[in-house]
């Protein structure tokens, strides 16, 4: 579905000077015409606004649908590693549609080494990000996982300084304290605190920060790797790579559990219940990938401050929906901590925009 073509030229190293503001993989906006989506065009400002609003609504709804279907599936069949791999494999369906129909230009790398250097490391960390988040949500409350995930900017700031020797303004560092305080307060007052859920969410944060650093670096020198190397194609490729990498990992960790867990879970189920469970697992992967696609569309059309606000609203929507659906008990201080952490993330992004 993608190809490599020969070219003589210089290829840069993988880690280099990149912007340390990598709170999210989706914040990488190159403003390149080749990165634009046909859905959001210039057919008129009113039509564009309506389409963008619809995309934002779809983005929020699909994110909520994903976390709910994900948690319901894990509550039914506790195989988080396997579910993660199945969700990542949904990327193959979208890749086949986008590239085989010509809806999106296929990436063309100059040689196999360029493809490996650009995609493999990101695929590894994308797998870590997804595994960590899914396992965390399986072990604990969805709301708790997303509060911990809001602490990603703190991890990014630390790794940018440690790995790249890049530092931010003192205002930006100061803006990290509300996030730290909010996460700490929410964790300390989590009624059913789960240490393993906290650890896996933090592992996901570390993977997400490194993945975003690598993505920024690749985008800054993408023309040396090949053609049509935009963020959407990079995301699709690293999803395909991570899905392949997940196979041996999942077989090693949960392979021996497949038969006994399946028998135990489906023993008292009707055929309709089994079908619904499998459909829910499949749809969670579709919602996961499609929500990220809509995220690219939305975030490519707005500035960094609007991006911070949009991500904040998304996280609030996910936490609120999960609390309503799963009725997870939460203390007043725990809820206050979550609120502070999420708003702190938004405040930090605004500070990074004003004081890099």
What is the rounded average pLDDT of the residues 260-277?
A: 94
What is the rounded average pLDDT of the residues 153-168?
A: 86
What is the rounded average pLDDT of the residues 339-354?
A: 87
Return the bridge partners of 227, or none.
108
Residue 356 has pLDDT above 80, yes or no: no
Predicted pLDDT at 21: 32
Q: What percent of the chain has pLDDT over 90?
A: 41
**Entry field: residues in the chain:** 356
Predicted pLDDT at 276: 94
Number of H helices, E strands in the chain: 13, 3
Tokens of 118: 């650009």
CA 304, distance to chain mean position in Å, is 17
Residue 15 has pLDDT above 50, yes or no: no
Segment among 45-49, 112-116, 199-203 with least mean pLDDT: 45-49
pLDDT tier at 85, thresholds 50, 70, 90: very high
Cβ pair 307, 27 in contact under 8 A? yes
CA distances from 266 to 278, 302, 311 (A): 11, 46, 38
pLDDT tier at 43, thresholds 50, 70, 90: low
CA distances from 122 to 11, 160, 207, 316 (A): 17, 16, 9, 28
CA distances from 151 to 2, 162, 213, 342, 343 (A): 36, 17, 16, 8, 11
Tokens of 312: 């904040």
Residue 206 has pLDDT above 90, yes or no: yes
pLDDT tier at 10, thresholds 50, 70, 90: very low
What is the rounded average pLDDT of the residues 96-112?
A: 91
Residues 220 and 182: their CA atoms lie apart, in Å, by: 34
Predicted pLDDT at 19: 34
Residue 167 has pLDDT above 90, yes or no: no
Residue 219 has pLDDT above 80, yes or no: no
Residue 237 has pLDDT above 50, yes or no: yes
pLDDT digits (tens, 9 = 90+) for 295-312: 877 877 777 667 777 878
Of the candidates 177, 146, 58, the one whose C-alpha atom is nearest the C-alpha of residue 326 is 146
Predicted pLDDT at 31: 45
Residue 35 has pLDDT above 70, yes or no: no
The residue that leads in pLDDT, 220 or 239, is 239
The residue that leads in pLDDT, 51 or 41, is 51
- Residue 115, SS3 per DSSP: helix
Segment among 34-38, 103-107, 175-179 with least mean pLDDT: 34-38
Residue 77 has pLDDT above 60, yes or no: yes
Residue 39 has pLDDT above 90, yes or no: no
Q: Tell me the whole-structure pTM to 2 decimals.
A: 0.84
Q: What mean pLDDT is reported for the chain?
A: 84
């Amino acid at each position: 579905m993608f190809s490599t073509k020969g070219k003589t030229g210089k290829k840069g190293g993988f880690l280099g000077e990149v912007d340390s503001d990598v709170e999210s993989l989706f914040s990488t906006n190159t403003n390149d015409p080749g990165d634009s989506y046909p859905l959001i065009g210039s057919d008129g400002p009113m039509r564009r606004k309506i389409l963008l609003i619809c995309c934002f609504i779809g983005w929020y709804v699909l994110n909520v649908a994903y976390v709910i279907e994900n948690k319901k599936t894990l509550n039914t069949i506790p195989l988080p590693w396997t579910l993660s791999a199945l969700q990542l494999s949904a990327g193959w369906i979208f890749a086949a549609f986008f590239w085989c129909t010509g809806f999106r230009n296929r990436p063309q790398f100059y040689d196999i080494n360029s493809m490996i250097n650009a995609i493999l490391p990101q695929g590894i960390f994308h797998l870590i990000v997804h595994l960590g988040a899914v396992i965390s949500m399986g072990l604990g409350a969805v709301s708790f996982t997303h509060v911990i995930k809001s602490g990603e900017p703190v991890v990014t700031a630390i790794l940018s300084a440690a790995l790249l020797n890049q530092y931010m303004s003192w205002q930006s560092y100061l803006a990290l304290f509300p996030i730290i305080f909010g996460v700490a307060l929410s964790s300390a007052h989590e009624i059913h605190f789960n240490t393993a859920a906290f650890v896996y969410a933090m592992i996901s944060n570390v993977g997400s920060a490194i993945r975003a650093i690598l993505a920024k670096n690749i985008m800054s020198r993408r023309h040396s790797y090949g053609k049509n190397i935009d963020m959407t194609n990079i995301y699709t490729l690293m999803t395909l790579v991570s899905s392949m990498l997940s196979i041996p990992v999942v077989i090693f960790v949960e392979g021996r559990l497949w038969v006994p867990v399946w028998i135990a879970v489906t023993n008292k189920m009707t055929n309709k219940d089994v079908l619904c469970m499998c459909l829910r697992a499949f749809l969670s992967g579709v919602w996961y990938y499609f929500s990220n696609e809509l995220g690219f569309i939305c975030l490519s059309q707005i500035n960094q401050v609007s991006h911070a606000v949009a991500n904040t609203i998304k996280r609030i929507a996910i936490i609120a929906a999960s609390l309503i659906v799963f009725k997870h008990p939460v203390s007043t201080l725990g809820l206050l901590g979550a609120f502070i952490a999420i708003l702190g993330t938004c405040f930090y992004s605004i500070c990074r925009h004003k004081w890099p």
